[in-house]
Amino acid sequence: MKIKITLNQSIKEFDVQPDEFLLDTLRNHHVTSVKKGCDQSTCGVCTVLLDGKPVLSCSLLSVRADGHEVVTVDGIQDEIEKISDSFGHEGADQCGYCNTGLALTIYAMKRELKSPSDLDIKKYVVGNLCRCSGYEAQLKAIKRYLGEKL
134 binds other proteins (CB under 8 A): no
Instruction: Supply the minimum distance, in Å, between the C-beta of residue 48 and other proteins.
Output: 9
Binding mask 65-104 for other proteins (x = CB under 8 A): ----------------------------------------
Instruction: Supply the minimum distance, in Å, between the C-beta of residue 47 and other proteins.
Output: 5
Contact between 86 and 141 (Cβ < 8 Å): yes
| Total interface residues for other proteins by CB under 8 A | 31
Site for other proteins in 13-52 (CB under 8 A): 17-19, 39-42, 44, 47, 50
Instruction: Supply the minimum distance, in Å, between the C-beta of residue 82 and other proteins.
Output: 20
The DSSP code for 108 is H
Contact between 14 and 2 (Cβ < 8 Å): yes
For 15, the 3-state DSSP assignment is: strand
Helices (H), 91-132: 99-112, 118-124
Q: Which of 25, 33, 84, 128 binds other proteins (CB under 8 A)?
A: 128
Contact between 102 and 110 (Cβ < 8 Å): no
CA 114 to chain centre: 19
56 binds other proteins (CB under 8 A): yes
C-alpha pair distances (Å), 139 with each of 5, 33, 124: 33, 22, 11
Q: Which residues bind other proteins (CB under 8 A)?
A: 1, 17-19, 39-42, 44, 47, 50, 53-56, 58-61, 63-64, 105, 108-109, 123-129
